[in-house]
Structure 1
Amino acid sequence: MSRIALIAGEGRLAPAIAAALDQPLVYALDHLKPALAARPFRLERLVPFLDELTDQGVTRAVFAGAIRRPKIEPELFDARTMAIVPRILMGMQSGDDAALRAVLDVFEEAGISICSVDQILPDLVPGEAVLCGAPGPCDQKDAARAAEIVAGLGALDIGQGAVVAQGLCLAVEALPGTQAMLEFARLHAGLKPDPQGAGGVLYKAPKPGQDRRIDLPTIGPDTVTQAAEAGLAGIAWQAGSVILLERAETLRRAEAAGLFLWARG
């Protein structure tokens, strides 16, 4: 019988995907703390792990949730995994997307195809629409500027988000993630030229050319709370390319805070 493995990262996405699957086998890198029970595995023993999946009848896998880079312990490598280390290390040196792509290639070479999150739960990735609120002309200009910045960052495999207010970039996403970016924007909100002007926009999108089976940007209730604390007017993202978690609660918080949510085409 064909089975599916859920490779769980941290955050709320993995439990949402697990609930949509029929008895998935759930695994997680052993340095992570996923929000559901998961069997641990180590990157240093990736090939034996893939053998285990094959023995369990796994033919498909889905990656869901945030994955922090593990600390590599060379003495733990088995001989077969050691043979693919140069590929993985080369990817890790190039950036997160390249590292994940290298791991996906190894899975598929073992006969395990990778499913994207929107194949499992299409409703998690909204198409073009304003979900709540109404972005005004200044907000639309800020979103367009932020989209240009994110595209430029993404080409360098740096991040998937930016905050722009009144045409100026207040913060960009890097390795520390969205929460750190929004905290930086909150601390520097006083740099907006006009205190009474447009509050600013958080924009998120995948990196250009990114493998969309894994590591799509995510927005959820906490993102809204942090954006409101940063004094922003709303959140925009590339339609059909960003995961929206806990939609009802996310919209409720946005409406309560007076923020717009816009899946931008």
Structure 2
Amino acid sequence: MALAGATEGRLAIIAGSGKLPLFLAEAAREAGENPFILRLKNEADPIWDDFDSAVVGVGDMSGLSALFQKHKISRVVMSGAVKKRPSLGEIHVNWKSILKLPMALRTLLAGGDDAVLKMVISLIEAQGCHVIGAHEILPDLLATTGPIGGIVPSSDDWRDIERAADAAETLGRLDVGQGAVCVGGRIVALEGVEGTDAMLARVARLRGEGRISQRRKGVLVKLCKPQQDIRADLPAVGISTVENARAAGLAGIAVEAGRALVIEREAMVAAANAAGMFVIGIDRGLKGAGE
């Protein structure tokens, strides 16, 4: 059965790095779609031989619009990581987006990631396309409430989860990042522009230097930003998150149920179980659920 809206025009997947764009493309194909892949220049992984695709610059709205028209695209999903914002010289707009150019430039220079993504969504929709979320194509990716693996948090872990969740929520409101690490009730790391994996590497380094307790494990919490448009950049965890959290000495990972993506769930759960770590979906409306 085709996805809702499949008769309205072709689906395009704007692909950054990582495996998520491929999972979405395969799911869309299984649902009867013929997705067209817009591979972001210097970002997308070379995994698209089995799909119709084209390369487009991150800031090339003119080129993007031309591809939308050529391939009769009406719906767009944005997925995958983008490491670098376009420079001013890489921004190319067409008449449909020219009025938004001053706003776009201000956002690129001073806005956080969520502000940038909202700006990109508005530019895409100015071309006449409808932006949809990754979870609309592959809803099974969404984290569910409760343990995702075979291990559950201890009472100490729950206290760390609550404190890290409060920190991650505050961080999100500032449009800075989505993750926080708490060890023994102490916030030891907040996610910035470097991303989750780099933050966890920093925690591992600090622990090795004795700056973080060797006795207490701690947790990673990732939350959707309170003001975030959930059609783009939902928090995601996967095998690499588990591996990096293990290297950082953490007891486990908590993500926001219904507003975070779990990539390669079975393999991730197997890795977490093997490492003796929990992965759990939490509902921010149910604070203290683990007590």
Query: Structure 2 length normalisation: TM-score?
Result: 0.85
> Equivalent residue for 1:10?
17
Unaligned runs of 5+ in 1: none
**SS at structure 1 position matched to 2:123:** helix
% same residue: 33
Deviation at 1:164, TM superposition (A): 0.4
Deviation at 1:79, TM superposition (A): 5.9
- Say whether residues 1:155 and 2:173 are aligned partners: yes
- Any conservation in 2 of the 1:166–1:192 contact (CA below 8 Å)? no
Deviation at 1:50, TM superposition (A): 1.4
> Equivalent residue for 1:74?
89
Report the AA paired with residue 252 of structure 2.
G
Matches within 5 A, 1:201-240: 201-240=219-258
Query: Structure 1 length normalisation: TM-score?
Result: 0.93
- Any conservation in 2 of the 1:150–1:204 contact (CA below 8 Å)? yes
> Equivalent residue for 2:62?
47
Identify if the C-alpha distance between structure 1 residues 82 and 232 changes in structure 2 by more than 3 Å, giving closer, same or farther.
Answer: same
Q: Distance in 1 between matches of 2:133 and 2:222?
A: 18
- Any conservation in 1 of the 2:239–2:268 contact (CA below 8 Å)? yes
Q: Distance in 2 between matches of 1:78 and 1:130?
A: 46
Please list the CA deviations of residues 57-109 of structure 1 after superposition, one character each: whole Å capped at 9, or x if unmatched.
11100111111233425277356365532121222221111111111011112
Deviation at 1:182, TM superposition (A): 0.2
Q: Distance in 1 between matches of 2:226 and 2:267?
A: 30
**SS at structure 1 position matched to 2:175:** coil
- Say whether residues 1:121 and 2:132 are aligned partners: no
Q: Distance in 2 between matches of 1:29 and 1:73?
A: 17
**Of 42, 59, 77, which aligns to 2:74?**
59
Q: Distance in 1 between matches of 2:179 and 2:278?
A: 17
- Say whether residues 1:33 and 2:44 are aligned partners: yes
Q: Distance in 2 between matches of 1:88 and 1:102?
A: 6
**Of 89, 101, 104, which aligns to 1:85?**
101
Report the AA paired with residue 89 of structure 2.
P
Deviation at 1:172, TM superposition (A): 1.1
> Equivalent residue for 1:104?
121
In terms of mean alpha carbon deviation, does 71-80 or 41-50 score higher? 71-80
Identify if the C-alpha distance between structure 1 residues 217 and 44 changes in structure 2 by more than 3 Å, giving closer, same or farther.
Answer: closer
- Any conservation in 2 of the 1:216–1:242 contact (CA below 8 Å)? yes
Q: Distance in 2 between matches of 1:173 and 1:135?
A: 22
Q: Distance in 2 between matches of 1:75 and 1:168?
A: 42
The number of residue pairs the alignment matches comes to 263
